[in-house]
Amino acid sequence: MTPHLTKTPDGVKRCFWCGTDPLYVSYHDVEWGRPVGDDRRLFEKIVLEGFQSGLSWLTILRKRENFRRAFDNFEIEKVARYDQRKVRTLLADAGIESAINNAKRASELIDKEGSIAELFWRYEPPPSGRPKRLTWEVLKTMSRTTESVALSKDLKRRGWSFVGPTTLYAAMQAMGVVNDHLHGCTHRDTAERDRSAFRRPA
């Protein structure tokens, strides 16, 4: 068995980080690394990545339905219109205030350029900039990249908050701008086929 991969009795190999929790395994198999072009789903990923700080991603996944209820299913225009009364009902949390600010900035970005997703996909790294073989040792050195740093600067210039290069690289991984399933993972090839068939927003 390749290091940092797990294998189930049915022969499926997975990146080790998803463990055996069914929720995490499903996220790894079905969502992570699959290309996303929908602005609402992308906004949700950005917000949840911002809330992850100091927590495991599994903790966020377990609370995702609660987040969806609290944030009106991450409908950007609804969140952008939250007033102070709504903010107080959500608790005085810096992450929540950031989510509302970012909804307003996202709404502005959509009005100006048509799509948040289009902006994110502009920062897709060229194949020549990607590792030839993605192992856990290599991936550990890539918590931020040239592209995620540039995207972070772009969004901060537009008034976004809680969008540091590490947070944005995690979002890029989650929405398939990069395919960071480890080599040997059964789902790496599936994610890559989805990426090849995906029409980049323009």
pLDDT single digits (tens) 15-31? 999 988 999 999 999 99
* Tens of pLDDT, residues 50-105: 887 767 899 889 988 888 988 899 999 999 998 888 777 776 555 677 888 899 99
Buried-state track 12-38, b at ≥16 Cβ within 10 A, e below 16: ebbbebbeeeeebbebbbebbbbbbbe
Q: Which pLDDT value is given to residue 179?
A: 97
- What residue spans define the domains of the chain? 36-178
pLDDT > 70: percent of the chain:
96
Choosing from 57, 124, 136, 192, the catalytic residue is 57
The DSSP line for 41-96 is HHHHHHHHHHHHTTS-HHHHHHHHHHHHHHTGGG-HHHHHT--HHHHHHT-S-HHH
Angle made by CA atoms 133, 136, 139, in degrees to the nearest 5: 75
Is there a contact between 191 and 31 (Cβ–Cβ < 8 Å)?
Answer: no
pLDDT, average across residues 161-185: 94
Lowest mean pLDDT among 3-7, 151-155, 169-173: 3-7
pLDDT > 90: percent of the chain:
69
Contacts of 77 (CB under 8 A, 6+ apart): 103, 107
Choosing from 27, 32, 160, 169, the catalytic residue is 27
pTM score of the predicted model: 0.82
pLDDT class of 202 with cuts at 50, 70, 90: confident
Mean pLDDT for the chain?
90
Please say if 27 is a catalytic residue.
yes
Choosing from 24, 32, 44, 49, the catalytic residue is 49
**What is 36-178's CATH superfamily?**
Hypothetical protein; domain 2 (1.10.340.30)
Q: Which pLDDT value is given to residue 11?
A: 83
Please say if 44 is a catalytic residue.
no
pLDDT, average across residues 160-168: 92
Please say if 57 is a catalytic residue.
yes
**What stretch of H or E contains 123?**
none
